[in-house]
């Protein structure tokens, strides 16, 4: 089912409201978050620097035979490679600390809310569903307020750097690359509702087996007294099987979406290579 433009607008408005509501948890780790954002900006610039250095090595040393340039370009390439590796390592370490810290802060807030509400306020929600929310909902909220924006910023910086590099070489190549964006956006928009629905079903299936396990383990003496272990094991296996199927279905949808997006990007890359060869043969580049 496709999402109408109006429905998409309201979903974005709701996501924006949730973002600003929980963004205070990110501010608790403001220094580490700023370091992570800075590393996101630096890494594409290092990649561009490495590509430029490689181009200069090919043009000046291999093609023109200027061996003296190797004394400058060689160490420069080594420094850029070392800086890129160090930036990737720091990004993983810093982001891991921020992600876990935000998740803990959100989980503590949710637990405080659950413990503070009046009895009966949660309705028919079982303890298993509540435990599932302590895990899945906090992870989703953390992704909304930190990991998601960081990933968007990283992808945007990489795309902008790639387009700038292409524009520096030839505007023809940059135009061909931009033509792939509508296909990427369409596939993302097309599969997003299915992925969200499958994720909700997976969460409910996980909550069901957690609730069953908690109830039956509390009643373990009674179950053993009536020799119901076999039936309870079968019931547990049935629910965990449904949870497994739901999770596999969610991952399959995400993999299909990623495959189609990668296919469009690959076709665009091949088109850029083909156009570049044609422009070089024509003497334009």
State pLDDT tens for residues 9-42. Answer: 445 556 677 778 888 888 888 888 888 888 888 8
Task: Answer yes or no: is pLDDT of 169 > 50.
Answer: yes
Per-residue pLDDT, averaged over 64-88, amounts to 81
Task: Answer yes or no: is pLDDT of 276 > 80.
Answer: no
Per-residue pLDDT, averaged over 190-198, amounts to 74
The per-residue pLDDT for 279 is: 64
Position 105 confidence tier, pLDDT thresholds 50, 70, 90: confident
Per-residue pLDDT, averaged over 72-77, amounts to 82
pLDDT digits (tens, 9 = 90+) for 110-163: 788 777 777 666 666 666 666 666 677 777 788 888 888 888 888 778 777 777
Q: Count Cβ neighbours within 10 Å for each residue of 204-229 and write b for 16 or more, e otherwise.
A: ebbbbbbbbbeebeeeeeeeeeeeee
In terms of average pLDDT, the best of 63-72, 116-125, 272-281 is: 63-72
The per-residue pLDDT for 223 is: 74
When the pLDDT of each residue in the chain is averaged and rounded to a whole number, the result is 76
Position 197 confidence tier, pLDDT thresholds 50, 70, 90: confident
Task: Answer yes or no: is pLDDT of 228 > 70.
Answer: yes
């Amino acid at each position: 089912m496709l999402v109408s433009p109006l429905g998409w607008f309201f979903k974005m408005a709701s996501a924006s409201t949730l973002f600003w509501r929980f963004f205070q948890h990110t501010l608790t780790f403001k220094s580490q978050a700023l370091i992570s954002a800075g590393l996101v900006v630096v890494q594409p610039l290092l990649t561009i620097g490495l590509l430029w250095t490689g181009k200069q090595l090919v043009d000046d040393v291999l093609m023109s035979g200027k061996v003296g340039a190797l004394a400058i370009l060689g160490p420069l390439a080594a420094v850029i490679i070392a800086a890129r590796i160090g930036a990737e390592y720091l990004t993983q370490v810093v982001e891991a600390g921020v992600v876990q810290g935000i998740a803990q802060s959100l989980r503590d807030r949710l637990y405080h809310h659950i413990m503070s509400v009046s009895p009966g306020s949660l309705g028919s929600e079982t303890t298993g569903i509540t435990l599932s929310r302590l895990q899945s909902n906090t992870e989703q909220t953390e992704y909304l307020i930190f990991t998601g924006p960081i990933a968007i910023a990283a992808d945007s910086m990489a795309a902008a750097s790639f387009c700038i590099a292409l524009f520096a070489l030839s505007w023809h190549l940059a135009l061909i690359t931009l033509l792939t964006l509508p296909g990427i956006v369409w596939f993302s928009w097309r599969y997003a509702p299915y992925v969200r629905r499958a994720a909700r079903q997976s969460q409910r299936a996980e909550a069901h087996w957690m609730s069953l396990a908690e109830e039956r383990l509390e009643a373990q003496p009674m179950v053993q007294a009536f020799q119901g272990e076999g039936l309870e094991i079968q019931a547990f296996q049935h629910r965990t099987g449904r949870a497994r199927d739901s999770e596999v279905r969610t991952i399959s949808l995400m993999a299909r979406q990623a495959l189609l997006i990668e296919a469009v990007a690959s076709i665009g890359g091949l088109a850029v290579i083909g156009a570049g060869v044609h422009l070089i043969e024509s003497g334009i580049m």
